[in-house]
Amino acid sequence: MYKSFRFSSILLLLAFIVISSCNTTTETQISDPKQYEYALVIHGGAGYATPEKLGSEGIEQYEQAMDSALHIGLDILKAGGSGIDAVENVIVLLENNPLFNAGIGAVLTSEGKVELDASIMSGLDLNAGAITGIQNVKNPIRAARAVMENSVHVMFSGNGATKFALTQDLEIVDQDYFFTEKSRKSLEKALKADKFGTVGCVALDKNGNLCAGTSTGGITNKKHGRVGDSPIIGAGTYAKNGVAGISCTGQGEFYIRIAAAHEIISLMDYKDLSVQEAAKEVIFEQLKPFDAKGGIICLDSNGKAAMEFNTSAMFRAYGNSDGEEIIKIFR
């Protein structure tokens, strides 16, 4: 009798230990989600690419480009480099690749020129820099960074932006540099349909700093002086430490109207939405009344990414300190 009482007490005690250890695990998981040491997310534009339109060679070219960009960024972060350096270098690589609508691959305006937009933001101190309508800087993201770091202003436009760029250590090129075969052809096609394609990157570095950047040629056949969301802090780009970093791509007019990038911050900060929930809300709910098309990439302060789009494709890549990597084009 005594023995069986002692045995059942031991069983009860064991059961209690098992149950309480299970509870502890659950609570730990909820209050302490996985924190990556560093992470990086990239987009190369959202649009209507299909496997048929791109072809296997095209798919391979885009995937290789995204892969190189991802590894340039991850290597910088792994070595303890800053999120700003990672974002700038990733975007420079994509700007130098004619596949993308940024830098050398930029689409043309209705007047057959290039007018480039770019922005960059540091989530540490909310410092930001942007340029719009610039025509002679090889890498607009570098100009945006120079505005952020070497001026008291946030944005320069047109000739003023070029004048500023000339005072910085930036590579200046002739307009001819941007006139690729692809940009000419896409201008011809543009009368039928607007094309998308922009590049963006968000990084979380080892110091917990979030940084975001976006660079674009805008929309094919855009009117002279037209400004999209990409160079607008709060519309196309935003970063705030402890919350998220964001870069958008799509029909900029609507991203400006809903302040898309900052809307992610608001939804996460004030409504406690996760990064995925916030990205879905912006892309599938808030853009819906306008029938606006595009995508968004976001990274939260744990290094978790959201990559949402309402088009058929978005060139995208993600990697983190655990060695997890994603490179995708279609759904």
Closer Cβ to ligand ASP, 253 or 325, answer by number: 253
Contact call for residue 310 and ligand ASP (CB under 6 A): no
Site for ligand ASP (CB under 6 A): how many residues?
13
Contact call for residue 249 and ligand ASP (CB under 6 A): yes
For residues 38 and 155, give the distance between their C-alpha atoms in angstroms, rounded to a whole number.
29
Q: Least distance (Å) from ligand ASP to the CB of residue 15?
A: 57
Closer Cβ to ligand ASP, 123 or 218, answer by number: 218
For residues 166 and 146, give the distance between their C-alpha atoms in angstroms, rounded to a whole number.
11
Subset of residues 192 to 221 that bind ligand ASP, contact rule: CB under 6 A: 196-198, 216, 218-219
Contact call for residue 133 and ligand ASP (CB under 6 A): no
Contact call for residue 164 and ligand ASP (CB under 6 A): no
Q: Least distance (Å) from ligand ASP to the CB of residue 219?
A: 5
Residue choice 73, 129, 213, 250 for contact with ligand ASP (CB under 6 A): 250
Subset of residues 224 to 243 that bind ligand ASP, contact rule: CB under 6 A: 228-230
Q: Least distance (Å) from ligand ASP to the CB of residue 239?
A: 17
Q: Least distance (Å) from ligand ASP to the CB of residue 75?
A: 26
Site string for ligand ASP, 36-65 (x = CB under 6 A): ---------x--------------------
Query: Interface with ligand ASP by CB under 6 A: which range of 70-78, 119-127, 181-189, 246-254?
Result: 246-254
Contact call for residue 109 and ligand ASP (CB under 6 A): no
CB 200 within 8 A of CB 121: no
- With helix as H, strand as E and coil as C, how does the chain read? CHHHHHHHHHHHHHHHHHHHHHHHHHHHHHHCCCCCCCEEEEEEEEECCCHHHHHHHHHHHHHHHHHHHHHHHHHHHHCCCCHHHHHHHHHHHHHCCCCCCCHHHCCCCCCCCCCEEEEEEECCCCCEEEEEEECCECCHHHHHHHHHHHCCCCEEEHHHHHHHHHHCCCCECCHHHHCCHHHHHHHHHHCCCCCCCCEEEEEECCCCCEEEEEEECCCCCCCCCCCCCCCCECCCEEEECCCEEEEEEECHHHHHHCCHHHHHHHHHHHHCCCHHHHHHHHHHHHCHHHCCCEEEEEEECCCCEEEEECCCEEEEEEEECCCCEEEEEEC
Closer Cβ to ligand ASP, 36 or 315, answer by number: 315
For the question of residue 311 being annotated catalytic, the response is no
**Identified catalytic residue from 109, 132, 198, 249:** 198
Contact call for residue 252 and ligand ASP (CB under 6 A): yes
Active site members:
198
Q: Which residues of this protein are in contact with ligand ASP, per CB under 6 A?
A: 45, 196-198, 216, 218-219, 228-230, 249-250, 252
